[in-house]
Structure 1
Amino acid sequence: MPIRRKATEAGVLQPSELELFGRVFEQLKRDGQSPEARDAIASRIIANYMAGVVDEAELVSLSRQPLGR
């Protein structure tokens, strides 16, 4: 699953954080998405979390949008 690989790359995380990422990822992924699209979702989830977004609903909402640069 892309979210676990991306989370591992991000550093040491608690099991509860991985569970949160998994729940959010399951809500955002779509059937037929390319591996690249799923990787992008996983990256957005982790980036938003690392930026301080810890509420699950807010993480889902923000991770639907591309990362601002």
Structure 2
Amino acid sequence: MRIRRKAVDAGIFEPAELALLGRLFEQLKLAHQSADAQDRLVSRIIANYMAGVVDEAEPSALSRKPLGC
């Protein structure tokens, strides 16, 4: 699972946190999305979560935007 590999690389997450990150990725990824685009999405999801955005609806909206916006 792409999100789990990135999440493990980014730091230590509890199983519930990994489940949340995985749900967000599944909600936001697009069909036929390139691996690079999925990697960027994963990075945005994790960055937003690590920045303290923990409400499931909020990281979903923020992760649709490129980092820095």
**1:15 corresponds to which residue?**
15
Distance 2:58 2:18 in 1: 16
How many residue pairs are counted as aligned between the two chains?
Answer: 69
Find runs of 4+ consecutive structure 1 residues off by over 3 angstroms.
none
Matched, 1:68 2:68: yes
Q: RMSD value over aligned CA atoms?
A: 1.0
What's the TM-score, normalizing by structure 2?
Answer: 0.95
Q: What amino acid sits opposite 1:10 in the alignment?
A: A
Report the Cα offset of residue 12 of structure 1.
1.0
What's the TM-score, normalizing by structure 1?
Answer: 0.95
SS in 1 for 2:8: helix
Report the Cα offset of residue 36 of structure 1.
0.5
Distance 1:36 1:3 in 2: 13
**1:51 corresponds to which residue?**
51
Percent sequence identity is 65
